[in-house]
Structure 1
Amino acid sequence: MSSVTQRNVGLIQRKNVGGSENSDPDVQNADHRHIEEDEIDHDSKETRLTLMEEVLLLGLKDREGYTSFWNDCISSGLRGCILVELGLRGRIELEKAGMRRRSLLTRKIICKSDTPTGDVLLDEALKHIKETDPTESIQTWVEYLSGETWNPLKLKYQLRNVRERLAKNLVEKGVCTTEKQNFLLFDMTTHPLTDAVVKQKVIKRVQDAVLSRWTNNPQRMDKRLLALIYLAHASDVLENAFAPLSDDDYEVAMKRVPTCHFLFSLSLSLFLSLSLSLSPF
């Protein structure tokens, strides 16, 4: 059976034939760059999505409106998105590595600014991080926010119904709609895709990053896009962005994913450090 390659809004597709003000200049700079980057990458009239919303959008089935029942990674992956998004917006940072050069996963997260982001999930997580003493590591916070802890005193940090809340955000932004589907024994709220262009553009950005615009220089790769690729892979939804590719492009893209992981590790300390910068450095 032969394959036909089509382009839809620049997307490679294959189908078979047959809040309050803050005086912290770093926070203001991060917020400004967050908006500025979106306006550069997207038309100002287009929908702007957070990392969490983009990862969930990649995981949602277009017509069915729900994620795969077999995906047990997306829950913790979305919590990781929340932490990175807070870092990109200048709200949290990693403690300094120190003389022993500790690994990224063991370094503690510190609240840099409690200025509200305007996103309910982000602000809820930020509140937990600010109020926690002693501070905790990235890995521990992913566990706390996911509710995966044996310590009953830490269950209060769990972010509940994250997927449903993010899906409602997508509905409010006109990307998805809300429906009720019957699955024999129970009814489930689903969120089928209504604006395919938004999802296609997210997929195209991911495809281009590992193909036509590929660079193994972390200084030249867009940090938010690099984070999206890493977090999509950690959430087990990256395959959905690569599935429409031709066999040759798919093979190239998958070979470059491990390099993206390495580049993301190099950049993570910049996401959550005192030298936070969203512009090329």
Structure 2
Amino acid sequence: MERPSGLVQRRNVSRGAQPTPGSPEAEADDRRPDDADSKETRLTLMEEVLLLGLKDKEGYTSFWNDCISSGLRGCILIELGLRGRIELERAGMRRKGLLSRKLIVKSDTPTGDVLLDEALKHMKETDPPETVQSWIEYLSGETWNPLKLRYQLKNVRERLAKNLVEKGVLTTEKQNFLLFDMTTHPLTDNVIKCRLVRKIQEAVLSEWINDPQRMDRRTAALLVLAHASDVLENAFAPLPDEEYELATWRVRKLLDLDFEQESLKQNALEIMWAVFAAFAK
């Protein structure tokens, strides 16, 4: 049976209650390494999505993938939200929708990640504040407003790849493509990527939790943004047909949620649901 391409992805699931978004406990919880991961191989959402999209031996993403650029910017927003740096303005009496509410800088304390801190600096300097959807466009450089082009984050994939080189996940090579040379970043070995793929598969199969509010936030974000970046299929392709169908069906359930309603539930991370809504639009 031929499978559809470019469907979905994700990571692992927690079974306990979620801490309050933005609290010290939440930030510590969201940045903790997985039990099986060493401190040196702890990856951000951006690095995980890029790693899924990279060809193992060739060391570059598909030339036909025009989704990963904006997907990585969505990862940046959620990563900042998980670390308690940004949030949405209050909904107000009229209960403005997620995509109508402005993004507010909650804390400008540096994260230690150059890309995150660069994006945070842009958001802090912007007055009046902008929406989540606008920020995805600005950070991607996909805006017709020339005054907003200065907010574009440049060479994001290359910078993330260099981070992964420093963490020992990738290496650096030069490849000749007839008319030009290109720097590529093949895997040093496939241990870290295999572990990531396995966690994604287990999260939607053996460890599936049929409740988005009990699901680990990073897991939910990884699934949705890997799908938005058109790299989730890379994690599901090795599965047998029956497991593949079950995994993609469960991710589809996540994608079909009412993000507005989910954002209203107790301890919901609103910025995450707003990013989901921006990609679903």
Q: Which category describes the TM-score, using the shorter chain as reference length?
A: 0.7 to 0.9
Compare 236-245 and 190-199 and name the one that shifted more.
190-199
Q: Which runs of 5+ in 1 are unaligned?
A: 1-24, 274-281
The match for 2:218 is 224
The match for 2:192 is 198
Q: Which runs of 5+ in 2 are unaligned?
A: 1-20, 272-281
Matches within 5 A, 1:229-244: 229-244=223-238
**TM-score of the aligned structures, taking structure 2 as reference length:** 0.83
Matches within 5 A, 1:67-216: 67-216=61-210
The match for 2:255 is 261
1:32 pairs with 2:28: yes
The root-mean-square deviation of aligned C-alpha atoms, in Å, is 1.9
Give 2:237's aligned amino acid: A
Deviations 1:154-202 (A, max 9, x none): 1110000000000000000000000000011111110001131111111
Identity of matched residues, %: 72
Number of residue pairs aligned between Structure 1 and Structure 2: 247
8 A Cα contact 1:59 1:67, kept in partner: yes
Write the distance in 2 (CA, Å) between the matches of 1:118 and 1:264.
34
1:52 pairs with 2:46: yes
Write the distance in 1 (CA, Å) between the matches of 2:57 and 2:220.
28
The match for 1:21 is none
Tell me, what secondary structure is at the counterpart of 1:104? Answer: coil
The match for 1:278 is none
CA separation of 1:46 and 1:264: change in aligned 2, threshold 3 A: farther
Write the distance in 2 (CA, Å) between the matches of 1:32 and 1:250.
33
Greater strand fraction, Structure 1 or Structure 2: 1
Deviations 1:65-99 (A, max 9, x none): 00000000000000000000000000000112223
The match for 1:271 is 269
Write the distance in 2 (CA, Å) between the matches of 1:35 and 1:251.
31
Tell me, what secondary structure is at the counterpart of 1:159? Answer: coil
Q: Once the 2 structures are TM-superposed, how far is the Cα of residue 220 of structure 1 from its aligned partner?
A: 2.0
Tell me, what secondary structure is at the counterpart of 1:32? Answer: helix
Which structure carries more relative contact order (alpha carbon 8 Å, separation 6+)? 2
